[in-house]
Amino acid sequence: MKLEAIFNPRSIAVIGASRKEGSIGFMVVKGLLDSQFQGEIFPVNPNADEILGLKCYKTATEIPGEVDLAVLTVPAAVALQAVEDAGKKGVKVVAVITSGFGEVGRKDLEEELVRIANNYHMRVVGPNIVGILNNPAKANASFGPYLPYPGPIALVSQSGALLIALDGMTWINKIGISHMISIGNMADLDFADFIDALNEDPNTTCISLYIEGVKDGRKFLESARRSRKPIVALKAGVSQRGELATASHTGSLAGSSKVYTAAFEQYGIVPARSLDELFIRSIALSMMKPLMGDHVAVITNGGGAGVLATDAAERHGIPLSDPPEDLKELFRKWMPDFGSPRNPVDMTGMADRPWYQGCLLDALNHPWTDGAAILYCETSITDPQNIAEGLYESYIQAGAVKPIVVSFIGGERCLKAGEWLKSKGIPTYFDPDDALSALSALRQYGKCLERKEVQFQPHSVNKERVQEILSKVKLEGRTALMEYEAAEIFKAYGLSLAPSILARNEEEALKAAEDLGYPVVLKISSPDILHKTEAKGVKVNLKTPDEVQGAFKEIIQNARNYKADARIVGVLVQKMAAPGGTEVIFGAIRDPQFKQVVMFGLGGIFVEVLKDVTFRVAPVTVEEAKKMALEIQASSILKGVRGQGPRDLDSLADSLSRLSQLVVDFPEIKELDANPVMLYQSGLLVVDARILL
């Protein structure tokens, strides 16, 4: 098992243990004692013989037995020596509570600390953490007051203060936690390491993350993809100002929230927007199997609650649909005449346990149903505990496979019955909106699983040709490719380009236009002119040899005027793209956290003014690329409007997927654009290609 020393420690040393009440070194020792840790506890302090009844050691090296985990609470000034000692002792993991490292600009100190530890094959949690709270091992190795409410959710948090504050909250809201892990500056162990390790922890069924910024985006995503347990993450710093605030707070770059959102969806991380939502979703994900389809039955005793749930379902992306007639027929057994067997299934205020129990069982047993949300408005004539038991019974009887969520709207009796349901593993909430948000998380996790089955299949491409062109460009010391070079590269990766020929003089230009067929476009080709339009180096829609000749002269002259010493390779003669195409844009950028990222958008004002674009971490499968096309706001334009037929989404997705492969295969490509790309009812043509190294 990975990181066994953290998840199943046999002994814990507290380096910097103290007799001073209120000091961190004191609180950690007391925390371990109070939580009734069953392994050995070794306080380390050169100036004490005994702390809270435990024998104290001068240095870690003096400890007699083996030490799995050491918690470091000494000042930063002596932390390196303490780590050295722990290493010598053979400690397996050291959790560094001590602050004063990267978060205050001393990244050097932090790196030195990790270097020392790794010398001894010792792993580091932190520094700058509140510690580790381990419920199964009953080890509160932190300066938090007590262990959280026990259960199967592991919370890994980049903010220590928040972690400690949430500790108490878990008891109020009965949110069951296996581990609370503060990872601070992540100098060594990071989110990815804990995702991997928690996958092997038998006490955890859901991994919940509070993220301000990840350090190695790819490593993080790969661990998420590997995960066989659901991951739900609250990414803080998604607002414009929030990105600034996070940066100042943790020293790690927050990254564009648009890219985070895309990466989460792509690699199977369920998002949460707030602390409440993080726990609402964690509870459901920790208890239920994923929702593997969109057929959700909403069962209620109140029309009002039903309408609210219907609104919430749509808001959370799982809109309700009508059940089939035979299922409606079954539902009718569990309601008076004025009830409704449609969705929401309104059993009316008369519904008591038998109706709830029968209705849920019928719903779950029917092949149409993928999952259910059960709502109950407290009434004087019914007992929520009784109804809770009925629901539980039906859930078990139906095999406990299809997920359910419950909303109990009411007072003390509902609260108690809801807590009972949660103790039985049924996610229960007050607000129908919360229940539907939870169900939506289960659906998103279901989609993650479906997505994981589709692996990226490399396209057959001509990698050598690209290598050749790039080598030449590098040799010449250039970072910007000329259009015909970029076009060659695109072609080598199987994209359709508007046919073009590089002409070095007027005669060649005329011949090229003849060969390509009129009308044509002429563009200046010079390694020294990046902005062709700005240099007046582009002439479009040239219909005759005369026009081509005139344009050639003009372009060369304009180029000279624009930059007298520009090396002019020639003029690119390109066949005009046929009319009737829709302008789209493919792009790739290098994200500071997730590296190669591809972008898709519609051309013109859609990108420039409305910023209606979508991102994915490269490479993207063809399926994923198609999702990109369909998720922009103006996607309906691609489906055909104003008498135009639908656009060729297959070609679009294939090309975008190929481009994503290109930037992964050649990480030296810093930026890439195909803008515009003319997308037709059948096929597409890249009209302008741009690549920067």
Residues 540-579 that bind its own copies (CB under 8 A): none
Task: Check if the beta carbon of residue 615 is closer than 8 Å to that of residue 660.
Answer: no
Q: How far apart, in Å, are the Cα atoms of 375 and each of 268, 367, 654?
A: 29, 22, 45
Q: Which of residues 86-115 bind its own copies (CB under 8 A)?
A: 104
- For residue 487, the Cα-to-chain-centroid distance in whole angstroms is 33
Q: Which helix (H) or strand (E) element contains residue 421?
A: helix 412-423
Residue 480: DSSP 8-state: B
Q: Which amino acid is at 45?
A: N
Q: Which stretch binds its own copies (CB under 8 A): 3-11, 152-160, 389-397, 419-427?
A: 152-160
Cα separation, 307 vs 314, whole angstroms: 11
Q: Which two tokens stand for residue 100?
A: 């004063």
d(CA 447, CA 626): 15
Distance in angstroms (rounded) separating the CA atoms of residues 521 and 552: 10
Asked if 294 touches its own copies (CB under 8 A), the answer is no
Question: Which H helix or E strand runs over 385?
Answer: helix 384-397
Nearer of residues 110 and 346 to its own copies, judged by Cβ:
346
CB-wise, 104 or 530, nearer to its own copies? 104
Q: Which one of residues 1, 77, 169, 530 is an interface residue with its own copies (CB under 8 A)?
A: 169
The nearest distance, CB 602 to its own copies, in angstroms, is: 10
For its own copies, the binding residue among 430, 450, 547, 670 (CB under 8 A) is 430
One of 507, 608, 623, 631 touching its own copies (CB under 8 A): 608
Measured from the CB atom, is 130 or 568 closer to its own copies? Answer: 130
Q: Does 152 bind its own copies (CB under 8 A)?
A: no
Contacts of residue 191, defined as CB under 8 A and 6 or more positions apart, other chains included, come to 156, 183, 209, 211, 214, 220, 223
Instruction: Cite the beta strand spans of 504-629 per DSSP E.
Output: 520-525, 538-542, 570-575, 582-591, 595-602, 613-617
Site for its own copies (CB under 8 A): how many residues? 88
Segment interacting with its own copies, rule: CB under 8 A, options 363-371, 407-415, 537-545, 685-693: 407-415
Rounded Cα–Cα distance for residues 647 and 635 (Å): 10
Residue of the chain from 47, 53, 121, 248 that contacts its own copies (CB under 8 A): 248
For position 349 contacting its own copies by CB under 8 A, the verdict is yes
The CA distance from 594 to 254, in Å, is 11
Would you give the binding string for its own copies spanning residues 505-544, x where CB under 8 A is met?
----------------------------------------
Q: Which of residues 309-348 bind its own copies (CB under 8 A)?
A: 310-315, 319-320, 338, 340, 342, 344, 346
- In the bound complex, what is the minimum distance in angstroms from residue 381's beta carbon to its own copies? 7
**Which candidate, 162, 190, 112, 360, places its Cα nearest to that of 274?**
162
Site string for its own copies, 616-655 (x = CB under 8 A): -----------------xx-xx---xx-------------
From the list 242, 494, 550, 683, which residue makes contact with its own copies (rule: CB under 8 A)?
Answer: 242
Which residue, 153 or 236, is less far from its own copies as judged by CB? Answer: 236
Residue 680, both tokens: 């037709």
Amino acid (1-letter code) at residue 450 = E
Of residues 440 through 469, those in contact with its own copies by CB under 8 A are none
Binding residues for its own copies restricted to 119-148, rule: CB under 8 A: 143-145
| The binder of its own copies chosen from 98, 135, 158, 227 (CB under 8 A) | 158
CB of 304 to its own copies, least distance (A): 3
Interface map 673-692 toward its own copies (x if CB under 8 A) = --------------------
- Alpha carbon of 320 to those of 343, 370, 486: distances in Å? 7, 12, 48
Contacts (CB under 8 A) with its own copies, residues 173-232: 210, 212
Residue type, 602: L
Smaller CB distance to its own copies: residue 128 or 596?
128
Question: Which window, 270-278, 439-447, 593-601, 617-625, contacts its own copies (CB under 8 A)?
Answer: 270-278
Contact indicator for 217, 591 with CB cutoff of 8 Å: yes
Rounded to an integer, what distance in angstroms lies between the CA atom of residue 45 and that of residue 592?
42
Ranges within 581-600 binding its own copies (CB under 8 A) = none
Does 161 bind its own copies (CB under 8 A)? Our answer is yes
**Closest Cα partner for 203 from 9, 7, 390, 30?**
7
CB 245 within 8 A of CB 228: no
Helix (H) or strand (E) holding 131: strand 131-134
One residue of 68, 362, 434, 485 binding its own copies per CB under 8 A: 434
Q: What is the smallest separation between the CB atom of 419 and its own copies, expressed in angstroms? A: 12
